[in-house]
């Protein structure tokens, strides 16, 4: 009854559980799936997120399974270099940028939670169906798995919805919201075992969405065969899409043709894609920002609160920042409703700006700018197209909005 109930053991829910425990606040996590499996492909953790993991004592664990990303490198679809800048520690940050398999990240968090908080504090096969509250407590109802017939009601001091983009609790408070909003861009994603390319720790963005844009970065160090596990995403403006399902298999023939000419000295892209372990297909979706997240003793966190299109490497990071701010608010305010109001004040406007900027001006705006100015033709020299100062300004502008400019991080 004294517990904070966390709904969902994804990246946000597990980070929140660890942060609350570190602050001495009892909590229990309830997760829909019966077994938490290492699902997903690549995810990036920018220095504002890794700073929080360092505070939770997890930086060493993560560095063992992640790649410390060193540079962002942008090319046009003809393989011409547009812009390169250092990232993470290589750029002078106090904390690294990690590129990591989502499953590896979730497993590090899960093991830490079980070891520190207790395995009995994470209950699986509990699919949240709704929440009610009175003046002193909340009651969250769970079925045994999605569509399960058996129901259990759990009482706690407060409830935090960390149940992702299809959040049941968000739907309860905003029943008319409708399905996630399609951006017009479909994504095919996969991982390929391949020899290191460029710096061996590069985050590559190439091409542009109207033809095809590619994002490539390694997520696991090379094994004895010298091959890294390399994450890739192909993004194409496509009118039709199917509902997001993290496990939906994609078909190579639906998109590989767009890469027919992508044979570069640093990578043969069609061969690289064909060598993938498997291909997944997701539509790029988000939701319009909400006017509020908190309703008395209940609030939303992570994708449940502010789903965003994955164009700024910020979805996981913002969930992690939410967890830190929410924990600090609960430490400062014994009344959860007061704490949630403080949390919402600090985080709602900040994440709204990111959701909207990810739609209009994420880091790949650099590619759009060059695509438009060159009319999708090769250039003789990049300086004739766009100055270094303009490129730096585009990149730095996003960092400021997303909260990871070096100055902002040192002050926080």
Ligand X SMILES: Cc1cc2nc3c(=O)[nH]c(=O)nc-3n(C[C@H](O)[C@H](O)[C@H](O)COP(=O)(O)OP(=O)(O)OC[C@H]3O[C@@H](n4cnc5c(N)ncnc54)[C@H](O)[C@@H]3O)c2cc1C
12 in contact with ligand X (CB under 6 A): yes
CB of 216 to ligand X, least distance (A): 14
Q: Is 164 in the site for ligand X (CB under 6 A)?
A: yes
The structure tokens listed for 295 are 């309703």
Member of 315, 336, 362, 403 binding ligand X (CB under 6 A):
315
Measured distance CA(264)–CA(257) in Å, rounded: 16
With the CA atoms of 98, 109, 8 and 122 taken in that order, what torsion angle do they form, in degrees rounded to the nearest 10? 180
Residues 318-337 binding ligand X (CB under 6 A) are: 319
| DSSP per-residue codes, 328-348 | HHHHH-SSHHHHHHHHHHHHH
Q: Under the criterion CB under 6 A, does residue 162 sit at the interface with ligand X?
A: yes
Q: Is 138 in the site for ligand X (CB under 6 A)?
A: no
Integer-rounded Cα Rg, in Å, for the chain is 21
> Contact region for ligand X (CB under 6 A) — 159-167, 171-179, 259-267, 389-397?
159-167
Spatial separation of the C-alpha atoms in residues 343 and 326, rounded to whole Å: 5
Q: Is 163 in the site for ligand X (CB under 6 A)?
A: yes
Q: Which of 25, 72, 128, 201 binds ligand X (CB under 6 A)?
A: 128
Segment interacting with ligand X, rule: CB under 6 A, options 24-32, 60-68, 324-332, 398-406: 24-32
Shortest distance, position 247 Cβ to ligand X, whole Å: 7
Please identify, using beta-carbon distances, which residue of 164 and 180 lies nearer to ligand X.
Answer: 164
Binding status of residue 123 toward ligand X by CB under 6 A:
no
Residues 6+ apart with CB under 8 A from 263: 269, 270
What strands, in cross-sheet order, belong to the sheet with 212-220?
A: 81-86, 71-75, 202-208, 212-220, 228-237, 181-194, 276-286
- The residue within the footprint of ligand X, chosen from 119, 177, 184, 246 (CB under 6 A), is 246
For residue 167, give both structure tokens: 């959040």
Residues that bind ligand X (CB under 6 A): 7-13, 30-33, 39-41, 43, 102, 127-128, 162-164, 168, 246, 302-304, 310, 315-316, 319
């Amino acid at each position: 009854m004294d517990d904070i109930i966390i709904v969902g053991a994804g990246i946000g829910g597990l980070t929140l559980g660890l942060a609350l425990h570190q602050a001495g606040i009892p909590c229990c996590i309830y997760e829909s799936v019966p077994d938490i499996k290492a699902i997903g492909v690549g995810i990036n953790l920018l220095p504002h997120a890794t700073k929080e993991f360092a505070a939770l004592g997890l930086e060493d664990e993560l560095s063992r399974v992640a790649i410390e990303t060193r540079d962002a490198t942008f090319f046009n679809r003809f393989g011409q270099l547009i812009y390169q800048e250092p990232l993470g520690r290589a750029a002078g940050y106090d904390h690294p940028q990690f590129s990591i398999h989502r499953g590896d990240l979730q497993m590090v968090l899960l093991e830490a939670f079980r070891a520190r908080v207790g395995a009995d504090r994470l209950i699986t096969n509990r699919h949240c169906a709704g929440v009610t509250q009175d003046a002193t407590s909340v009651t969250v109802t769970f079925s045994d798995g999605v569509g399960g017939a058996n129901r259990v009601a759990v009482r706690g001091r407060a409830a935090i919805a960390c149940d992702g983009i299809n959040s049941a609790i968000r739907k309860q408070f905003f029943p008319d919201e409708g399905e996630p909003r399609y951006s017009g861009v479909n994504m095919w994603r996969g991982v390929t075992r391949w020899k290191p390319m460029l710096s061996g720790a590069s985050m590559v963005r190439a091409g542009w969405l109207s033809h095809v844009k590619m994002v490539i970065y390694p997520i696991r160090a090379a094994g004895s065969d010298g091959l890294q596990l390399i994450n890739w995403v192909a993004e194409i403006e496509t009118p039709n899409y199917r509902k997001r399902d993290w496990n939906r298999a994609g078909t190579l023939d639906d998109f590989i043709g767009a890469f027919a000419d992508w044979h570069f000295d640093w990578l043969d892209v069609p061969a690289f894609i064909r060598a993938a372990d498997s291909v997944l297909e997701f539509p790029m979706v988000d939701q319009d920002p909400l006017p509020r997240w908190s309703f008395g003793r209940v609030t939303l966190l992570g994708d449940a609160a502010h789903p965003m299109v994955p164009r700024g490497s910020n979805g996981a990071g913002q969930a992690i920042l939410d967890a830190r701010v929410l924990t600090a608010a609960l430490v400062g305010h014994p009344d959860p409703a007061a704490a949630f109001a403080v949390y919402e004040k600090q985080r709602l406007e900040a994440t709204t700006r990111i959701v909207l900027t990810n739609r209009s001006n994420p880091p790949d705006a650099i590619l759009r700018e060059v695509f438009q100015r060159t009319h999708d033709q090769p250039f003789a020299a990049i300086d004739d197209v766009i100055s270094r100062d303009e490129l730096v300004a585009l990149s730095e502008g996003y960092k400021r909005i997303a909260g990871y400019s070096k100055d902002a991080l040192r002050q926080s």
